[in-house]
Structures are given as C-alpha cells and as structure tokens.
Copies of this chain bind each other. A is one copy, B any other.
Amino acid sequence: MIHFRNDYNDIAHPKIIKHMQQCMDETHLGYGMDEHSKKARERIQELISIPVFIHFMVGGTSTNKIVISHILKPYEAVISAQTGHIEVHETGAIESTGHKIITIPTDDGKLTVELIKKAYTRYTDEHMVKPKLVYLSQATETGYIYQKDELKDIYNLCQSLEMYLFIDGARLGVSLTAEQNGLTIDDHAKYSDVFYIGGTKNGAMLGEALITKHPSIDNYLRYSMKQGGGLLAKGFLIGMQFEALFEDQLFFEIGAKANQMANYLKEKLKVHQIIFNETPTNQQFIKLPNQVIEKLNQKYTFETWEDHGSSKTIRLVTNYRTQKSDIDQLILDIKNK
C-alpha cells in the first residue's frame, strides 16, 4: 500500500531514534524533571523573545483537555470552529471536564474576529455559559493557516473581551514552513495565551510541547497534568525527542518536507486538471466519483472526508516520508480511472 492517510504512521524520524539510542544507558529523573527535558526547554526558549514556561505533554486530545480544564472555571466555555478537533474528534473530551464548546460554523474552518465577536455577544447573563477561551488550530483541521495579522487581530480581540486564546499546534510544523506564511514560533507565543508545538504529527513518537507566557497558567499546571493522566512517568522520553527536534532545525526540516511533497502533489493535480480544494499545508482534499475511490482504496490509504452520494471528498496527507513516485503513481491511477 501507498500511504496518504495521515502524518503519524511511522515510529519516528531516524534522527530522533538515533538520539534516544545514545541515551540508552543513562538513568533519569521521572515526570519531566530530567536533564533532557531541561535542554529541550532551553532550545525552545531560544526561539522565543519573551520568557515562557514549557511543559511536555503526551498527545493532542490529552493536552487540549488538560489545558482547557486547567484554565476555565466550571461555568466558562470554549469558542471553537465547528470543524475544530475538540468539537469533532475527541469523543467529548472537553465536555467530559464539564465545559461547553460554543461552535461557530465557518466556510473554511478558520475563525475570524467578526465570527468570534458575534458568538461572544450572544452570551449575556447567568442563564448561559460565559465564553472565556478561544480555541483555534494552526494549521486548521481543513489544512489552512492563520496569517500573522489574523492571529494578532484575534488575540487583540480576545484581550479586549477578557478571553484566553489557545492555539492547538498539532500541525504547527507544516504551518511554520508553508510558503509565504511569514510565521514564527515567537509569533505564536506573542499572539496567544497558550499554544503547543506538535510532535506526534511532525516526526516524534509522541509528545507536544505546551508553551505559555503566563505564570497564572503555569501555576499548578503539573497538578492538572497528573490528574489528567498526562504526566508521563518516563517524561524524559518526550524531552529527548524535542531536544532532537530542535537541534539543527530538524523540526522545521520535517514540516518543510511534508509541504514540499504537498506542493508536488498540488502541481501534478493542476497539470492533470484534477479539481481539488487547495490548501497551503500537507492536507489536500479531492472530490472523486465513488468508483474511482473504490479503485484507489485497493492500492492507497487515505481518509474519506465527506460523502456526497455518488462522489466523496477524500483527504490526502503528505509527510516527510512521502515519495514523489508515490504521488506520480496516484495521479496516474486517478487519470486512468
């Protein structure tokens, strides 16, 4: 099979594995108090112009759940795009901690200042929840990116409405390395209250690096991590991986490679006049007749995104291991349907 299903289908990037092998004979302090986690924190801090607090988390759903329930009071709610990961694909994890998600329908999965403002103003008194945190994903679940100005505007709105901005960066790697994006990790620290740098979908075995500039969010966060089942006993494993990811630009290299393969795919789709929903990152969405999809299913892995009856939209994900020849083959098979 040729794989376009997702960006987390191998153990880890060889450089990460190699780094871990080199640490095999060491003995470490547990729960993230080790030297590798410390070193990883230092490397991430170097990329950020303001002092921040950094915690290594186990995975995406776990992080979203822990952060949101750590910050909010019981009657406070999260604002999210209707396509947000917390709304669609976390089996009610946020609600399981007691909080309502206020969902906003969008055209492309991206929140805007106008949409947030409109949602916010509907909540007026104690018979309703109080919106207190905006959740957005960078890149979005639909493959798009918030530009620096968009982030900044949303952050300023949040500030003026006394809401927190939390950025789910499970796919931050492909966002930062997309063409003409002008975004840095530092921007995300500046224009959010808390965000994370995704490891799982960017070459690590597991782990996300959670970052906040606020002591008030950092305070007792380890209590919430432990209670949430997200304080890994062998926390040094995640520390080691981020240590490797932020040595010699490996993190960016992995994201860039996934985008290059996406660019090659987009180019080929255009050349062959296959209509698709173009995005700047490593997820592309193509609508194809059912019989084509059935044929592709025998040779390729991918996810069905939406069912339109006689046709379906499928999602093609590239990653740092995708080969040009895989894409060539796929295009051929779509054309020779």
Contacts and interface: CB of A to CB of B under 8 A. Distances in A.
A50 interface: no
Given A30-B9, A70-B74, A232 B220 contact: no
A274 interface: no
A39 to B, nearest CB: 16
Interface string A62-81: 11011001100111010000
Interface string A15-50: 001001101111111100000000000000000000
A88 to B, nearest CB: 7
For the complex formed by this chain, how many copies does it contain in all?
4
Given A70-B74, A95-B100, A8 B226 contact: no
A111 B236 CA distance: 34
A59 B233 contact: yes
Contacts of A26: 10-11
B128 A88 contact: yes
Interface residues of A, number: 75
A229 B226 contact: no
28 contacts: A1-B27, A8-B233, A8-B234, A10-B25, A11-B26, A17-B21, A59-B232, A62-B230, A63-B229, A69-B74, A70-B73, A74-B92, A74-B97, A75-B226, A77-B92, A88-B128, A89-B127, A91-B127, A91-B226, A92-B98, A92-B99, A92-B100, A103-B103, A126-B223, A129-B223, A130-B220, A206-B206, A229-B230
Interface of A: 1, 3, 5-6, 8-11, 14, 17, 20-21, 23-30, 58-63, 65-66, 69-70, 73-75, 77, 88-93, 95-101, 103, 126-130, 200-201, 205-206, 220, 222-234, 236-237, 240, 321
